[in-house]
Amino acid sequence: MNGQIIQARVLGQSTLEVRYQEFGKNGKVKERTEPTESVFSVTDSLGRERIWYFYDTIFGNTLPVDRMRWFLKGEQDGRAGYKPFWPVLGGFVFGAGTTIALNLEVNSLFLPPLYSAAMILPRVHVTRGSITDPVMEGDQDYAWGYARVGRTKRVVRSLASTFAGIVVGVAVRQLVINPNLEGYD
């Protein structure tokens, strides 16, 4: 369960899987299946909802159904509204700056995992503008779902920005700084 809402035509539901047709952006229709353990609920064309999620800590379903709805809503809002601008900018500056300052070339490839690992630790704060329902503000389960998606977004994007910073740093070092050094031929 990741909080995604899939607009599709349901072909069949069983205790093992949900089969559906997904309509692509270019008009193609793909038939897909999802195991019911990864589906929260299915709403048919008449608006009737069938909930597949059940509260059972043995299976890892640690939240009751009503609290899981809030968790999934937090994941949806985090996916739509969380923008990790400062960690991404910091990753780019860290990658470029460290590569230029320490004259790292191939050894600079250890920097992105290092910076991304550091981005796991800080807390993800819920952005006020990204909350779709003001009643959810301050709810623990909503914030947990939001932080789960936000942390993943922050780590992956900071990893990519640090790689981009390394590319820029190596290019600046090789094309600008090294040719201007005395004795460099």
pLDDT values of the chain reduced to their tens digit, one per residue, 185 residues: 677 888 888 888 888 888 888 887 887 888 888 888 888 888 887 888 888 888 888 877 788 889 998 999 999 999 998 999 999 999 999 999 999 999 888 889 999 999 999 999 989 988 878 888 888 888 899 999 999 999 999 999 999 999 999 999 999 998 888 777 776 65
Sequence-distant (6+) residues with CB within 8 A of 90 are 115, 158
pTM of the prediction? 0.80
Structure tokens at 137: 């503000």
CA 107 to chain centre: 28
What is residue 31's three-state secondary structure? strand
Give me the amino acid identity at 37. E
Provide the phi-psi class of 47: left if phi over 0, else alpha when psi is between -120 and 50, else beta: left
The pLDDT of residue 1: 60
